[in-house]
Amino acid sequence: MSHTNQERFHECYNTWVHQQELDLENLLHALHHHSHDKDKLSSVVTTTIHHYQDYYNVRSHLARLDAPSFFYPTWCTSFENSFLWIAECRPSMTIRLVYSLSGLELEAHLDDYLQGARRGDLADLSPLQLSLINDLHRRTIREEDKLSSRMASLQDGLADQPLLLIAAAAASQHASADDVERAMEAHSVALACILEDADKLRINTLKEMVKILTPLQAVDLLVAAKQLHFSVHEWGKRRDRQHGRN
């Protein structure tokens, strides 16, 4: 792995974080100043989704250079890396976040809700929306399971090529360095393909969720998702410092 590629990977992530900060500002502004303007809310949601798509497109291209770097990224904290699923969070986490936010917002305004007041946020999910979200959840879990099976098969196959060749080379010099490098590169390419498919599932799940939600609910979700990402990253950095990891 060249230092140049590492710099490109870090730059990709840092650019994405900066874009998320800008998007969060725009989402919060729309939430606080245009909460009744569906067109404005829809516009900021669409722009935010486009930025997710752009990030995944760039990451897919960079992963072809060295996919393993994205499966335990040095630009993330140890805490973040501990729950990565194919280089990022599971797509179904978006759906679980909706369920959690719905419950939290309902609890926070339960008295108003019982008196018939409606805020239009995620506490006001309709029976139809809940049914559609549940269906999306089941479909997403099935696709996650398929990708997890592909990862398991790839990891099982690792012993049949790169590790076996490395062991043979160390034991008897029968395997050449070129053979080992080719086998490891093939493994990296396969990882990149799985990562790309996982990212497609992530963005498609988010897009489908946004279609189910109202514009205000979609903004509510995106704000919470970005705030959660920043909070987890900061907590992870604090924990790394406490354990002597810089």
Q: CB of 59 within 8 A of CB of 199?
A: yes
Surface-to-core class of residue 178, CB atoms within 10 Å of its CB (0-12 exposed, 13-18 middle, 19+ buried): exposed
Q: CB of 14 within 8 A of CB of 175?
A: no
Nearest to 41 by CA among 30, 25, 52, 50: 30
Is 161 a residue whose pLDDT tops 70? no
The model carries a pTM of: 0.88
Q: How many residues does the chain have?
A: 246
Mean pLDDT for 26-52 is 96
Q: CB of 73 within 8 A of CB of 9?
A: yes
* Residue-level pLDDT at 244: 84
Task: Return the minimum-mean-pLDDT range out of 86-95, 107-116, 182-191.
Answer: 107-116
Cα 76 to its chain centre, rounded Å, is: 13
Is 193 a residue whose pLDDT tops 90? yes
Mean pLDDT for 160-183 is 65
Residue 72's φ and ψ, nearest 5 degrees, are -145, 70
* Residue-level pLDDT at 117: 47
* Confidence label for 181 from pLDDT (cuts 50, 70 and 90): confident
Mean confidence (pLDDT) of the chain: 87
DSSP symbol at 68: G
Domain ranges across the chain: 3-112+125-242
* Confidence label for 233 from pLDDT (cuts 50, 70 and 90): very high
* Confidence label for 69 from pLDDT (cuts 50, 70 and 90): very high
The gap between the terminal CA atoms of the chain, to the nearest Å, is 21
* Residue-level pLDDT at 83: 87
- Amino acid 195 reads L
